[in-house]
Structure 1
Amino acid sequence: MSKTFDARRLDVAAFARLHGHLAGTDSLQKYERLAQELQAPAANLTVNWQADGGERKAIDGSLRPAIHLRADASLPLTCQRCMGEVETPVTVDRHFVFVDDEDRASALDDESDDDVLVAAPDFNLHALIEDELLMALPLVPRHDACPADVRLSAQSADFDAPQVDKVNPFAALAALKDKPKGG
């Protein structure tokens, strides 16, 4: 029996049971939250992904529906050193085990190397792909060696130079205070 699966409304149990396979190359613009991380909008960027269904042994020893997800993209992020564009490869290669309810997922997820999620008949695989790519972004994107010299000091050359004496704005008030009354 052959079944067509929809990545936006995936029946996880059937996908795993039938050892389903989905793959795609999507425009990055379909992943709005990920696109917001870019230094500048880029219409030609893509996200490559594939998902394979099957069963996987959970930490409790039971066989559970599972998905092996792989995704990658090359993203123009902002270098935190020079503030220029840095092309950053982002890769995801994770296994997800599915259970029936949140309590069970929470209990197994704490001990498991795999992520444990709640199975749903309309699971959004694209949202999972976007979430995983967002979490795979570097905390501080930067070049190994920036293309231009970067000023690494906030202090200017004349920082320690003596300051020209400025008139204290309260000096005039002090003069008025010391001035004799009535005169």
Structure 2
Amino acid sequence: MRVPSPHAAEPHDWIDVDALTRRGDGLSGVFALARLPRVLADAPDLPEQAQETVRWRVQAEWRDPPPAVAAAVRALAGGRRAAVPRHLWLHLQAEGRVPLVCQRCLEPYWQPVTVDRWFRFVANEAAAESEDESCEEDLLVLDGPRYPLLELVEEELLLAAPLVPLHEVCPHPIPLAAGDVLGAGGEAAAAEPRRNPFEALAALKAGGRS
């Protein structure tokens, strides 16, 4: 559940959801990564960060409620034919890169992140709280004609980022406590092959008999 915050100033920071439902092709654009302070909080400073952007696309549509919901509405009306309100849904797609620190080698890196989710709008926080535990979809509170898209994109990027950031392959060998190194391929490798301890013991016994 997310609640809108005060209006932002730039185009598409807020979207007119009703107008969006009338667009057959949806709406797309980019946000500068520098405008997402929560994503950059405590993030490492990487090259080209000031020019980095997040691409997004949104589409809205009205849907009939599930049969169970429609039946419940009619039951509350005493079995009479009652108008069952349609539900407003929003589809968000976004992709970009966020700066993180690898928890294995402790070096900063760019983490690709993608978002592809549907949300259902409800009228107020009370409705969201009453439905949140019983529905599978994510809910958004829409208490006016517009919704803060910039905040939603930022929130979803944070949720899509890994809890434990890791390079797929660390760029430099990592020293280990035993004197080995964790190489770029992610495997421990010794400088030279280790001798079997039983072979060393046999060699000592052989030397003692000579």
Deviations 1:12-50 (A, max 9, x none): 244335557221122111112112253215112110000
- Paired AA for residue 59 in structure 2: D
In 1, Cα distance between the equivalents of 2:141 and 2:25?
18
Matching residue of 2:17: 12
- Equivalent of 2:50, from 38, 43, 47? 43
Which residue type is aligned with residue 145 of structure 1? V
1:53: which partner in 2? 60
- Indicate conservation of the 8 Å contact 1:16/1:66, yes or no: no
Q: Is the 8 A contact 1:58 1:112 kept in 2?
A: no
Q: What is the number of residues matched between the two proteins?
A: 150
Q: Give distance in 2, aligned partners of 1:143 and 1:44.
A: 22
- From the superposition, tell whether residues 113 and 124 of structure 1 become closer, same or farther in structure 2 (CA, over 3 Å): same
Q: Does 2:113 match 1:108?
A: no
C-alpha distance after superposition, 1:90-125 (max 9, x if no partner): 111111111112121122222323211111323211
Kindly provide the amino acid, as one letter, of the partner of residue 38 in structure 1. Answer: A
SS of match in other structure, 1:38:
coil
- Tell me, yes or no, if structure 1 residue 145 matches structure 2 residue 169: yes
User: What are structure 2's unaligned runs of at least 5 residues?
Assistant: 1-10, 71-84, 180-210
Q: In proportion to residue count, which structure has more helix?
A: 2
Instruction: Please provide the CA RMSD for this pair.
Output: 2.4
User: Partner of 2:185 in structure 1?
Assistant: none
Q: Whose radius of gyration is greater, 1 or 2?
A: 1
Alignment of 1:15-30 (within 5 A): 15-16=20-21, 21-30=26-35
Specify the alignment match of 2:88 in structure 1: 65
Aligned partner of 1:29: which letter?
A
Match of 2:149 in 1: 125
Q: Which moved more, 1:25-34 or 1:106-115?
A: 106-115
Q: Indicate the residue corresponding to 2:120 in structure 1.
A: 97
2:195 paired residue number: none
Could you tell me which amino acid in structure 1 is paired with residue 56 of structure 2?
W
Report the 3-state secondary structure (helix = DSSP H, G, I; strand = E; otherwise coil) of the residue aligned with 1:123. Answer: strand
Alpha-carbon distance between aligned partners in 2 of 1:113 and 1:37, rounded to the nearest angstrom: 32
The alignment partner of 2:174 has SS state of coil
Alignment partner for residue 77 of structure 1, among 71, 88, 100? 100
| Percent identity between the two aligned chains | 35
Matches of 2:174 and 2:126 in 1, distance apart? Answer: 50
Q: Given the superposition, is the C-alpha separation of residues 26 and 84 from structure 1 closer, same or farther in structure 2, using an over 3 Å criterion?
A: same
